[in-house]
Each structure stands twice: as structure tokens, then as C-alpha cells.
Amino acid sequence: MISLFLLTFVPVFGVVLIAALLLSRYLGARRKTAMHSALRAEPVAGVARGAVRRPLIPLLMAPGKIAFSGFLTRVSVTRNLGMWIRQAGLSWNPGTLLWVMAGCGATGAVLGMRVHVLLSPALSSTALAIALALAPLIPVYSKRRKRLQEFERELPDALDFLARAMRAGHAFSTSLKIMADESPDPVGAEFRKVCAEYNLGAPLEAALDALMLRVPMVDLQFFSAAVTLQRQAGGNLSEVMLRLSDLIRERFALRGRVRAASAHGRLTGLVLVAMPAVIAVVLMITSPDYLRILQRDPMGKYLIAGALAGQAAGYLCIRRIVSFEV
């Protein structure tokens, strides 16, 4: 039992780490490509291409609580997990999250040995270990996505407030501080960090780079580039802020039209994915003997595995078709 557990859990945990690395790199590269494409396609008044900078490491990052975290911070997987956690607004430690994932994977491996949900104990143990090991990432991803959407929804009002404060005669740093204090979270919290870093002596460009690392949004790329060019060459920054807020609102309207146009495809994909599972549950309740042959026959288990794989592939294909970058 112990040897089977070790032979199953160690490779599974390695696969989980590799999958987390590939997923984080894919999402980061996809978001970075979207940012640069938008910056090339939608120039804002006074924003030049060369003003886009690569984000730096946040200046106020909390140190690790344990010695092992110092080693983990140099690992690419842990850095990406830490960035996800910061973008989600959570105070978790990446090393702790990895240990939780490892514990969930071990639990899944043990359950797979006891409950044979797939063809063999080894395959069941592997599948449950991977599924439970990735489960702790679900709340992080959900919280991160919700927080970024809320930030993007509140950003136009914050930029309008900033423009009005500068038109009233305040300096940019003072206007930024007032806007951070008056704006709701997460916009207020993130810009308060920018003000804190700037007050501690960091260059404003470095503080904005840290902000873009915590909140990877195209609109913040515009904002940072506009502020940098205004400090270097001058210009009417309040007018740029107003135009940028109008651009964000127009993007919201376009995104709503795109979602309305693709609603039929998303609903069709949901029905096609849910229908076989619902029918199987109904048949198991009303006619148990009808599906029991799939459990008894050796070929039936392969048919069940093939059906599940086909459902997953179909869902991914439909999701890819109805997803649009706006």
C-alpha cells in the first residue's frame, strides 16, 4: 500500500507542479500579448509605444514567514502562484498553498486506492490526486478574476475623479492620494499602495510598475504610459484621464454586445455538456440495470472513460469558439 502510494503521489505532484507552471505561463503570455496588441491598436492622446515598460517587483512585498519560503520564491512555479495570490488580494503564502495542494493530492491518492472510480486503482488514484491537488487553486482563480473585474469596473470613475482633482489645481501626487482615499476597494487599496511606495522615496514609475504587476490590465498600461510621458514632456494629463475613462466605458459596452451575441453558443455548450450527465443520473435512478452493464463489462469502463474525455474535449472546444478578447 505504501509503495503504491509513493509511486502514485510523487509523479502526480510533479505533474501538478508542471501543469500549474504551464497554466500560469500561458495565461501570463496571453494577457501580455493582449496588452501589447491593445497598446499598438488603440493609442491614447500623448501615449507612445516606447513608454510601455516591463513591470518591476513590488516594493512592499512581505517577506516569507519560514526559511523554506526563501527557496520557493526563486522557483518559477511559486513566483507565479505568489503573483496570482497577490492579484487575488489574498494574504496567503505560496509555500503554504503548495503544501495544501500536496496534502489534497495525497488525500486523493489514498481515496483512489479505496474507491476505484476509473479503470484501475493506479489510474483512479492518479486522477483523484490531480483533481484534489488542483482544487485549492479554484478559489484563488475565482477571487482573482472577480477582483480584476471589479477593479476594471471602478477604474473609470476613479480616473474621472483624478481628472477633476487636477483641474481643481491639485498636483498629480496630491490628486492621486485624494483619489486613493475616496475610491472604494480594490481601486482605493491598490492606489494607496502606490502612494505609500512613492512617499517612501520610490520613483513614481517604479510604483506604477508594481501596480501593473499586481493588476495586469491594459487600461493601467495606458495610465502608466500617460503619466510617464506627461512628467517627461508635459501635456494636459487631466484630458488624457478623461479620454481613458471614456475608452474603458466604450470597451465595457462592446464587451456586453459581444457577450449578448455569443450567449446562444455558451448556452448550447452548457446544455450539451450537462445533458449526458443528467441523463445518466436519471437512468441510474429509474433503471439501474440499464447502465450497470457498463460497470460489469471490461470494455464498458473504457467506454465511460472515453465518454468523459470526449465531454471534456467538447467543452473546451465550445468554450474556445465562443470566447473573444475585447
What does DSSP assign to residue 201?
T
Q: Which of 251, 282, 313 is the last residue of a domain?
A: 251
Query: Looking at residues 34-50, what average pLDDT do you find?
Result: 43
Dist. CA 172–CA 268, nearest whole Å: 50
Q: Does residue 109 sit in the same domain as residue 14?
A: yes
Q: 233-244, pLDDT tens digit by residue?
A: 877 888 889 998
Q: 87-115, pLDDT tens digit by residue?
A: 888 888 887 888 888 888 888 888 877 77
Q: Does residue 2 sit in the same domain as residue 116?
A: yes
pLDDT score of 295: 72
| pLDDT above 90 for 191 | yes
Q: Does residue 230 sit in the same domain as residue 272?
A: no
pLDDT score of 95: 79
Dist. CA 299–CA 191, nearest whole Å: 59
* Residue 160 located in a structural domain: yes
Q: How many domains does the chain have?
A: 3
Q: Which of 203, 226, 251 is the last residue of a domain?
A: 251
Q: Does residue 92 sit in the same domain as residue 215?
A: no
Q: Provide the 10 A C-beta neighbour count for residue 96.
A: 17
Q: Does residue 217 sit in the same domain as residue 165?
A: yes
- Mean of all residue pLDDT scores within the chain: 76
Q: Does residue 122 sit in the same domain as residue 1?
A: yes
Segment among 15-24, 97-106, 136-145, 285-294 with least mean pLDDT: 15-24
Query: Looking at residues 5-15, what average pLDDT do you find?
Result: 53
| pLDDT above 70 for 28 | no
The proportion of the chain whose per-residue pLDDT surpasses 90, expressed as a percent, equals 11
Side-chain-side CA neighbours of residue 288 (13 Å): 1
* Residue 315 located in a structural domain: yes
3-state helix, strand, coil in the chain (%, to 5): 80, 0, 20
* Residue 245 located in a structural domain: yes
pLDDT score of 42: 43
Q: Does residue 179 sit in the same domain as residue 240?
A: yes
* Residue 53 located in a structural domain: no
Query: 228 falls in which pLDDT band (50, 70, 90)?
Result: confident
Cβ proximity of 129 and 109 under 8 Å: yes
* Residue 140 located in a structural domain: no
Domain that includes residue 13, residue range: 1-41+60-135
